Every structure is written in C-alpha cells, then in structure tokens.
Amino acid sequence: PTLRDLLEPAAQRPTVFWRGYDVYDQTRVGFVTDTPAAQRVGTKLDTGSRGGSNQGHEFGTALSAADKEALVEYLKTL
C-alpha cells in the first residue's frame, strides 16, 4: 500500500497486494502493487491471513480529500 492508502480507514485499504515489484508510484507515494507485472514478479500478501492484518493506525482518515492530498504532497518534500 501507498501513503495515500494509509490515509483511508482500514476497511478501505487494499486487502490483497503483491510486494517485490519495485516500480515506485510517485503520485501515491509507494510501490506499485496491483498491476499484472507486480503479480507476475511479486509475492502475494493477503491481509486476511493470520498475522497479515492491514489495521494499523487510523491517523488522518478523517481528513478531507483536499487535506489528505496536501499532506501527501508535503510528505513528498521531506
């Protein structure tokens, strides 16, 4: 998942994604995880599996869409 994904409530975050495809998404700030190429070379991670939860924290989930975008843009500058 990307930084942008982490600003959504846990129930709206990706539940299945592929890790190991190191193409970076500069817009959403994270690795591309949901394309056919990512599926071909990556390792499938399922948040429904034991120990694989995507719950994490809920910081920023109540921000407006504009505020979320502003936060991501700010984080890109660090």
The residues spanned by each domain of the chain are 3-76
Quick: pLDDT tens for 7-62.
999 889 999 999 999 999 999 999 999 899 999 999 999 988 887 777 777 889 99
In 1-78 the beta strands, taken as DSSP E runs, fall at: 16-19, 24-25, 30-31, 43-46
pLDDT at 4: 94
Cβ neighbours, 10 Å, residue 44: 13
Whether the predicted model's global pTM rises above the 0.85 cut: no
Helix, strand, coil share (%) of the chain residues, nearest 5:
30, 15, 55
